[in-house]
Amino acid sequence: MIEFYSENNFDLSEQDEVSDWIKLVINSEGYTLGEVSYIFCSDEYLLQLNEDFLNHDTLTDIISFDYSLGKEINGEIYISIDRVTENSSLYKVPFLEELHRVIIHGILHYCGYKDKTDEEATLMRQKENEALSKRNFL
C-alpha cells in the first residue's frame, strides 16, 4: 500500500496513477510492495528530521527511512516541497517532473541503488530516467 500525507498544504494530484507507477517500478526491479508512506513537508520540517536522525545540518529534498524486509519494500519517504520547487527552477524542469524524480529516487534507494560515489550517482540518474519514462500519465 502506498499512502500520501502532507505536513504542509501540498496536495499530490493523480495519487492513484502515481501509486500505480511506483508499483510498476518496484516490480520491474524484482521487488514487491509492502507499505510505503510519502510525507510532503517544508524545508524546516525536513531539516529538523535531518538534524534529529542523521546529525546533518543541511537542507535536502528527500530523507527516506527504509524498513524493507528482504524483497518487500517498506518505508517512509519525506520530501521537501520547498526543495523540489527550488530544484525544478534550478535545473529548468517542470515541477512535477522534479517531484516524480524525487518520489522514485527514494524507491530506488530501497531497491539497493546508492548515490554516494560518482559512479553510483550516474547509475541512480539512469534508473530515475528509466522510471520516469514508464509514467503513462501527465
Question: Is 105 a known ligand-binding residue?
Answer: yes
88 in Cβ contact with 106 (< 8 Å)? no
Integer Cα distance of 98 and 32 in angstroms:
25
Residue from 79, 77, 83 nearest 64 by CA: 77
118 is in an annotated binding site: no
Annotated binding site for Zn(2+): 105, 109, 115
Annotated binding site: 105, 109, 115
